[in-house]
Amino acid sequence: MIDPIRFISNESSGQMGCEIADAFHEQGAEVILIKGISKFSTRNNVCEIEATSAEQMLRSIENNIDGSDIFISTAAVVDFIPESKEKQN
């Protein structure tokens, strides 16, 4: 159980994903970067799709993976959902 004040998160910044996307783009690859909310962005003209939830990230991947030769994931997706939450009084 989790109370109404606490939340589950991680410290992943998204920087590694942006760096990898840039490196592949600089080598001539067509890159689509699907990322969570991050202060980091790619330096190049990489197509970036921002996802605000694990579900949205999954849908974005499913919508863009067809025709891909490579899929690389560095995302630290928080996909844990507590069975129940305490109600705030």
Tens of pLDDT, residue by residue over 59-81, are 999 999 999 999 999 988 877 77
Query: Does residue 21 carry a pLDDT above 70?
Result: yes
**Global pTM?**
0.75
For residue 89, the model assigns a pLDDT of 67
State the catalytic residue, choosing from 10, 44, 45, 63.
10
Residue 63 bears catalytic tag = no
Closest CA to 61 of 20, 22, 32: 32
Q: Which long-range contacts (CB under 8 A, 24 or more apart) does 47-54 make?
A: 54/78, 54/79
For residue 1, the model assigns a pLDDT of 61
pLDDT digits (tens, 9 = 90+) for 22-60: 999 999 999 999 999 889 999 988 999 999 988 999 999
